[in-house]
Chain A
Amino acid sequence: MCKLLLPSLSAYSAVTDPIISIQGLTKTYASGFQALKGIDLDIREGEIFALLGPNGAGKTTLISIICGIVTASAGNVTVAGFDIVRDYRKTRAMIGLVPQELATDAFETPLATCRYSRGLFGRKPNPAHIEKTLKQLSLWDKRNGMIMALSGGMKRRLMIAKALSHEPRILFLDEPTAGVDVELRKDMWALVEELRRNGVTIILTTHYIEEAEAMADRVGVINHGDLILVEEKTALMQKMGQKRMVLDLADPLAAIPSRFAGLGLELVADGGQLVYTYDTQAERTGITSLLNDLRDEGIRFRDLTTKQSSLEEIFVSLVQQGRA
């Protein structure tokens, strides 16, 4: 994919930090379902923020309120210091939204629909920008064909092109790579990184934890309408991450000796592997004493490996805690 040449930060007016500020945001639908329960969140300018959560957690509702599609029941949201209700023209002009569904007019052309999006957001026609965006997303050759003839991946890119047509400062990507192949997903990641380099703040929701792990600066986890965690991704993985030490035993064990009870050891692979889970942040990990005790017990091992918890494991653990 070609390089993106969006306006640099200097092209925009001076802004306060954070660029999005959410306070006490709640949403209860007419059915009585409470989708958001008092969300407080600040998004920093220029960051990639990944919002994780299971289906129905409230991710799309949160995005929809900020973009103006859904009305909040209570709370405030400001974008670059402007209230999303009172100053909706200013806030919405700054935001681009790529929705989860591939919602496009099948009988329209990519060129016409991008021009339409730009005009709708109050920008004067700029054929050069539309051409550049379509070229960057490898859609220029298809500009005059009907959208219905595009593949799923192309339609997904077209949704991004439409969202970028009015040169937004903030881009919401709601499940941007849902249902796309691995190659296109990697292209999308590169695109997002390029947008960030050009100063665009990106908020993405995803089911692919590896996506958040690969791209995000910060991660928020939402579950049952509560924002249960907001953390720098690396700090989160360090703080919450557990490590597993796996010992390949020289001689398989029938059972774990009683003196090791309470250490949380697991015997796996038909007794051929001993697994020890420990907290990396603890004052003592217990590794040295465990190895000494194993030697005293006459348990020998051929190999030793350690593995850091992935963001996915952390996420699953958090969501399960929420259920409990």
Chain B
Amino acid sequence: MNLQGILAIYRYEMARTKRTVLQSVVSPVVSTSLYFVVFGSAIGSRIEQIDGVPYGAFIVPGLLMLTLMMQSLSNASFAIYFPKFIGTIFEMLSAPVSFYEIVIGYVGAAATKSMILGAIILLTAWCFVPLRIEYPVVMLLFLTLTAVTFSLFGFLIGIWADNFEKLQVIPLLVVTPMVFLGGSFYSIDMLPEFWQTVSLFNPVLYLISGFRWSFYGSADVNVWLSMAAVTLFLGLCLLATWWIFKTGYKIKK
């Protein structure tokens, strides 16, 4: 294994975050804080508790998941798309690194960045709303699995995209609606029965539900079902990665 190669990619990507700290760290923290202020304090104080949890605290897992998913996607997709766009990918393709080592380097860095961001947002949330984490190990497991899975998904989008519009289309037009309709700001029990059934077809619901369970011990769906969903999605992303690297799709001519 080319450990130096993996480390080189990982360090290079982490260094890029330092250069763009406003965009990478400050911006998501500010926008998430605004959610806490608006939905948690201003509107939340007028909303009833959900499953015994104040509304401001109820939305924290959903907001964390929202940031985690979007940041993992954008970090990883941009990280691999940018070398393709400016032409520096030639160096990686001509280096003695395997495709799996490239994935570990890029996905590892993207997941690390979004998890650091998640931790910062969690600390920020503590300043605004009363929080408790009943199952911290499960919370960490969900956090890690989601960050890795969505970073891998973002990496695949970055490989597939051949222009900036394609790079944005899935995160903005597919993932964002799924996250918002996946119970980030509400429990599906609050929906009419028909829409509850429709929501069960949204895979993001399972991730947010499982993550919220690790905080408050209550969830829209069984936590094992949530764990199975994130594992299945991870498996699908790994399968797609394996196929891309086997065929050289959009990488090698």
Q: Is the interface of B mostly helix, strand, loop or mixed?
A: helix
On chain A, the residues within 8 Å of B86 by CB distance are 103-106
Contact for A67 among B4, B12, B94, B248, CB less than 8 A: B94
Closest to A93 in B: B96
Residue among B12, B82, B253 with max Cβ neighbours from chain A (10 Å):
B253
Interface residue? A280 (CB, 8 A): no
Interface residue? B15 (CB, 8 A): yes
Interface residue? A189 (CB, 8 A): no
A104 touches B88 (CB 8 A): yes
B91 touches A92 (CB 8 A): no
Residue among A99, A112, A119 with max Cβ neighbours from chain B (10 Å):
A119
Chain A 82-124 residues near chain B, CB threshold 8 A: 88-93, 95, 97, 99, 101, 103-107, 112, 115-124
On chain B, the residues within 8 Å of A103 by CB distance are 86-88, 90-91
On chain B, the residues within 8 Å of A112 by CB distance are 12, 15
Cα A99 to Cα B87 with chains together (Å) = 10
Interface residue? B46 (CB, 8 A): no
Cα A146 to Cα B96 with chains together (Å) = 27
On chain B, the residues within 8 Å of A122 by CB distance are 2, 4-5, 95-97
Interface residue? A255 (CB, 8 A): no
Cα A107 to Cα B248 with chains together (Å) = 28
On chain A, the residues within 8 Å of B83 by CB distance are 105
B2 touches A69 (CB 8 A): no
**B2 CB → nearest A CB, Å:** 5
B88 touches A105 (CB 8 A): yes
Chain B 73-104 residues near chain A, CB threshold 8 A: 82-83, 86-88, 90-97
A121 touches B15 (CB 8 A): no
On chain B, the residues within 8 Å of A156 by CB distance are none
Interface residue? B230 (CB, 8 A): no
On chain A, the residues within 8 Å of B15 by CB distance are 112
Given contacts A71-B248, A116-B8, A122-B4, contact A92 B253 (CB under 8 A): no
Interface size class of A (residues with CB under 8 A): 35 or more
A69 touches B90 (CB 8 A): yes
**A122 CB → nearest B CB, Å:** 5
Interface residue? B7 (CB, 8 A): yes
On chain B, the residues within 8 Å of A107 by CB distance are 16, 19
A68 touches B94 (CB 8 A): yes
Given contacts A71-B248, A101-B87, A103-B88, contact A123 B94 (CB under 8 A): no
Interface residue? A162 (CB, 8 A): yes
Given contacts A101-B87, A103-B86, A103-B87, contact A120 B92 (CB under 8 A): yes
Cα A87 to Cα B83 with chains together (Å) = 25
**A32 CB → nearest B CB, Å:** 13
Interface size class of B (residues with CB under 8 A): 20 to 34
Contact for B253 among A70, A106, A119, A124, CB less than 8 A: A70
Cα A123 to Cα B97 with chains together (Å) = 12
Residue among A91, A115, A116 with max Cβ neighbours from chain B (10 Å):
A116
On chain B, the residues within 8 Å of A99 by CB distance are 87, 90
On chain B, the residues within 8 Å of A88 by CB distance are 96
**A160 CB → nearest B CB, Å:** 13
Cα A67 to Cα B87 with chains together (Å) = 15
B5 touches A119 (CB 8 A): yes
Contact for B91 among A106, A120, A123, A124, CB less than 8 A: A120
Contact for B252 among A69, A91, A101, A120, CB less than 8 A: A69
B5 touches A121 (CB 8 A): yes
Contact for A68 among B12, B16, B88, B93, CB less than 8 A: B93
Chain A 247-271 residues near chain B, CB threshold 8 A: none
Cα A119 to Cα B8 with chains together (Å) = 5
On chain B, the residues within 8 Å of A118 by CB distance are 8
Mark each residue of chain B from 15 to 35: 1 if its CB lies under 8 Å from any CB of chain A, else 0. 110010000000000000000
**A173 CB → nearest B CB, Å:** 14
On chain B, the residues within 8 Å of A71 by CB distance are 248, 252-253
Given contacts A71-B253, A99-B90, A103-B87, contact A119 B7 (CB under 8 A): yes
Closest to B253 in A: A70
Interface residue? A208 (CB, 8 A): no
A95 touches B4 (CB 8 A): no
Closest to B12 in A: A116
Given contacts A71-B253, A112-B15, contact A120 B93 (CB under 8 A): no
Contact for B96 among A30, A92, A104, CB less than 8 A: A92
On chain A, the residues within 8 Å of B93 by CB distance are 67-69
Jot down 5 A-B pairs with beta carbons below 8 A, ordered by A.
A68-B94, A69-B94, A89-B2, A104-B88, A112-B15
Chain B positions near chain A (C-beta within 8 angstroms): 2, 4-5, 7-9, 11-12, 15-16, 19, 82-83, 86-88, 90-97, 248, 252-253
10 closest residue pairs by CB, A with B? A119-B8, A103-B87, A89-B96, A67-B94, A92-B96, A120-B95, A69-B93, A122-B2, A93-B96, A120-B8
9 A-B pairs besides A103-B87, A121-B96, A122-B5 with CB distance below 8 A are A69-B93, A91-B96, A99-B87, A99-B90, A118-B8, A120-B8, A120-B91, A121-B95, A123-B4
